[in-house]
Homo-oligomer: A and B are copies of this chain.
Amino acid sequence: MTFLFRSALTKQGLLMPVLNAVRGMSTSTGPNPLFTTLSITRPADTITHVEFCRPEKRNAMNKAFWSEMVDCFNQIAEDPECRVVVFSGAGKLFTAGIDLMSMASDILQPEGDDTARISWNLRHIIVSKTSDCCHTWSMYWRGLVSTGVDLITACDIRLCTQDAWFQVKEVDIGLAADVGTLQRLPKVIGSRSLVNELALTARKMYADEAKSCGLVSRVFPDKETMMAGAMEMAEEIASRSPVAVQGTKVNLIYSRDHSVPDGLNYMATWNMSMLQTHDLMKSAQAAMEKKSPKEITFSKL
């Protein structure tokens, strides 16, 4: 379970954090009619649960998945009620990574009259995946393989179960990870030596090491408690002022890619309008009345 993140210059709704509904709460018994790989439920008015729902294939990412993710998050982006998205995988495994069979024709037999033209087409495919899809999401998992790391590094918050393991598997299939792992993993965890080791040897990392290196911020004993924890965290975030939550997310993403002085300049420019929200007065008043933030009703953003 984790939260969605996207670059700052993007559509409104995709900046909202996303978080996973508890599986038992889901009324879906399979993929959503609109999607063949995703199941969408609404555990609360302000929370959407997106479940990667292809367990018979260990949630391997096929071509349908890549395009449905874009459509799904575009729909969520237009939904003014949703404040948090939870993303998880159905079954025991979060994802087994890229479904090589599904991608084979594009990647292994690319079109083009010469090497330059084949390269141009391959770049187009990579950029599409990267910019349209893999900017997104959060998720939970038991075991995570290969491209899955691309997905989770694109999320805001990462949780896992005690028996989860992670693997940057691309080096085992003869390529450098192409949809974000090599860019985001070093900014997501603190140890450069570990990043290099994982990416160059494709060894598995288990939950405890994932927690101590900072890849996940919490480890739960099993999927049930993790999903309950995810839901609780989603509720915490969904209950806060959406002005505060969005401003925090926009500025954290901006800071990742800029110097501290640049980040402070941007922050001041952002807050010169955002400080004028009524939410500030409502929160101050609630604080004086010893009320919890959850008791305040904030307008939609």
Contact = CB atoms under 8 A, between A and B. Distances in A.
Q: How many copies of this chain does one complex carry?
A: 6
* Interface footprint category on A: 35 or more
A187 interface: yes
Contact of A122 (B156, B183, B259, B271): B271
Interface string A256-282: 111111111111111111111111111
Interface in A234-291: 236-237, 240-241, 243-252, 254-284, 287
Contact of A214 (B124, B192, B264): B192
Interface string A107-126: 11010011111111011101
Contacts of A269: 123, 266, 269-270
A195 B12 CA distance: 22
A293 interface: yes
Contact of A9 (B104, B254, B264, B279): B264
Say what secondary structure dominates the interface of chain A. Answer: helix
Contact of A267 (B116, B126, B216): B126
Nearest to A183: B263
B196 A127 contact: no
B117 A233 contact: no
Contacts of A72: none
Interface string A35-46: 000000000000
The 6 closest A-B pairs by CB, nearest first: A190-B190, A191-B214, A176-B247, A174-B279, A273-B273, A116-B277
